[in-house]
Amino acid sequence: MSPALRLAPGGGDRLAECVEVFRGSAIWERYFAGGDRLQRSLERAARQGQLWYALTDENAIAGVMRVVPGGFCGLYHYLSLLGAAPWARGQGVGRFLMGEFERMAREAGCARTSLLVSDFNAGALAFYRSLGYWELGVLPDAAKPGIAERVLLKDLNAGEV
């Protein structure tokens, strides 16, 4: 059963909970394990107003996203990070957050949205493709040596999530 969700701006007071959303995931293992890189990224996102929570009726963080307005060449909103809490995975949290991400972009007048998907993250790639994202190209070693990032875009006039 999908939890009832609402979108809320993320603040610095719940960053430890945000870290737990990603712990144990493929992204965690490849990019964040063994350091404070994720914590620092989330702190920066909160300060810049780029951090968003999917909250349940009980105020639990079911998911987290970082949205960088105009982050793709100053043209399109860029989704920098997306995750669902382990207990909420497979329950529509990612789809909810993507819908909100695309709504924000539409309201800002963007014709497209953008994101990167790591080459090892086949599940995420399939998810984004199911939402209408298409591949613009591949950036080898973009964020970390040995990991290629696929640049995905979605034309917002092509339909809703």
Query: Phi and psi (nearest 5°) for 19?
Result: -55, -40
pLDDT tens for 81-101 read: 999 999 999 999 999 999 999
C-alpha torsion 78→68→103→99, nearest 10: 60
Asked, for residue 23, whether it belongs to a domain, the answer is yes
pLDDT of residue 65: 97
Q: Which domain holds residue 119?
A: 6-158
pLDDT in the model for residue 72: 87
> How high is the pLDDT of residue 2?
61
Q: What is the tally of structural domains in the chain?
A: 1
Query: Average model confidence (pLDDT) for the chain?
Result: 92
- Backbone angles phi and psi of 102, in degrees to 5: -70, -35
> Average pLDDT, stretch 72-80?
92
Mean pLDDT for 57-71 is 95
Question: Is residue 39 exposed (0-12), middle (13-18) or buried (19+ Cβ within 10 Å)?
Answer: middle
- The helix/strand/coil state of 149 is strand
CA–CA gap between residue 84 and residue 150 (Å, rounded): 21
- Asked whether residue 39 is domain-assigned, the answer is yes
Q: Does 1 reside within a domain?
A: no
Q: What band does 20 get if pLDDT is binned at 50, 70 and 90?
A: very high
For 93-127, write each residue's pLDDT tens digit. Answer: 999 999 999 999 999 999 999 999 999 999 999 99
pLDDT at 1 over 60: no
What is the domain-level CATH number for residue 123? 3.40.630.30
Look at residue 126 and tell me if it is in a domain: yes
Residue 135: which of 147, 119, 153, 148 has the closest Cα? 153
